[in-house]
Amino acid sequence: MKGEADMNLATSYLGLALRHPVVAAASPLSASVDGILRLADAGAAAVVMASVYEEQIVAQELAEAALWSAGQDSHAEMGAYFTPQTQTRVLDGRLNTLRRAAERAGVPVIASLNGCTDEGWLDFARQMEQAGASAIELNFSHIPTDITQSAQAVEAEYADVVRRVCAGVDIPVSVKMPSTFTAPGHVVRSLLDQGAAGVVLFSRFYGPGLDIAVLEPDERLRLSTPGELNLALMWLSLLSARLEGSFAAGCGVWSAADVVRCLLAGASVVTTASALLEKGPGHIGALVTGLRAWMHAQGHESLADFQGRCAARGTPEEARAFVRREYYRLMTLPVERVTGA
């Protein structure tokens, strides 16, 4: 058996050849060139750049337009100070960050886009491609606040955005999707049919809490927990062997054991952000080292030896029976198993 240093951890994600399956997810750590380079230097196989939000870009453009208009009307010489060429735009800065990081990181840099209009999704995706992104991750966070909008209509909106973006760019597109769909498996299949190269299961819902002292939204950002990984594991195991596409685990990956679990369920990669925010970019090395140690202990020489081993491969009826059986088993555990006593 080969030594730990000889383990082959290579994997493929969205058609990108990666050294290993640990990817740095979009977070404040990947918002700058220096941050992206730190993550790459720490060993990330790829880095997802912090999301570009359409609202932020539009707000900046509107503010500049107002300033430009006011400047021209107030003084004849103001145009020399506020020209279209010298205006600072949010998108220009983000694209410049992406361009410089893609040139220097030495690993694929995946652009993350959080849009809200048809034009925004496609226009920004094209500009990200031109700036050197290896792939684009569409980060959906739509909350259907219109109570007359059906689930089918929401799903159709997602599918339409993915179809437009995939048709408009030549680089791979993935979808980081929420877990709140009635039938996530059907939605994933639809998104892959529209051209997506893969999906990330799942994005987190960062809804504000409520501060009862001041009766205002509590906007503190809370990190994920390892327990949040279980839902992604279930859907990874149910879908990865049934659908053609790359699957990534996207919420709750904190330990090397979590990485192993995701790979056993059929993930191509894991993406992690909360663990890196708390422990620092160097935690990437601990995840990779732990994965390599587990593989060595189990006698595996490559990811292919065990990747997807726990993925469901039976009929839908067999999968349904398995999920129901596990649910029943957990809900009928004796009290000492529930409390840990």
- pLDDT, residue 36, reads 98
Tokens 């993350």 belong to 112
Cα-atom radius of gyration of the chain, to the nearest Å? Answer: 22
| pTM metric for this prediction | 0.86
| Token pair for 339 | 């409390």
pLDDT number for residue 284: 98
Residues 66, 218: Cα–Cα separation, whole Å: 32
pLDDT at 308: 95
Provide the pLDDT for residue 58: 60
Task: Please give the Cα distance from 312 to 32 (Å, whole number).
Answer: 40
Per-residue b or e along 249-270, where b marks 16 or more CB atoms closer than 10 Å to that residue's CB: bbbbbbbbebbbbbbbbbbbbb
**Residue range 7-20, pLDDT digits in tens:** 899 999 999 999 99
246 and 198 in contact (C-beta within 8 Å)? yes
The string of DSSP codes covering 55-93 is: HHHHHHHHHHHHHHHHHHHH-TTGGGTS-TTT---HHHH
Question: What φ, ψ does residue 253 adopt, rounded to 5°?
Answer: -85, 110
pLDDT score at 339: 60
pLDDT value of position 303? 97
pLDDT in tens, 234-292: 999 999 999 999 999 988 999 999 999 999 999 999 999 999 999 999 999 999 999 99
How would you write the pLDDT of the chain (341 residues) with one tens digit per residue?
Answer: 566 667 899 999 999 999 999 999 999 999 999 999 999 999 999 999 998 887 766 655 444 444 334 444 544 444 444 444 433 477 889 999 999 999 999 999 999 998 877 788 899 999 999 999 999 999 987 778 889 999 999 999 999 999 999 999 999 999 999 888 889 999 999 999 999 999 999 987 776 788 888 888 877 778 888 889 999 999 999 999 999 999 999 889 999 999 999 999 999 999 999 999 999 999 999 999 999 999 999 999 999 999 999 998 878 787 788 778 777 777 887 876 666 54
Helix, strand, coil tally for the chain in percent (to 5): 50, 15, 35
Whether 78 contacts 72, CB under 8 Å: yes
Token code pair at residue 136: 């684009």
Residue 253 and residue 23 in contact, taking contact as beta carbons nearer than 8 Å: no
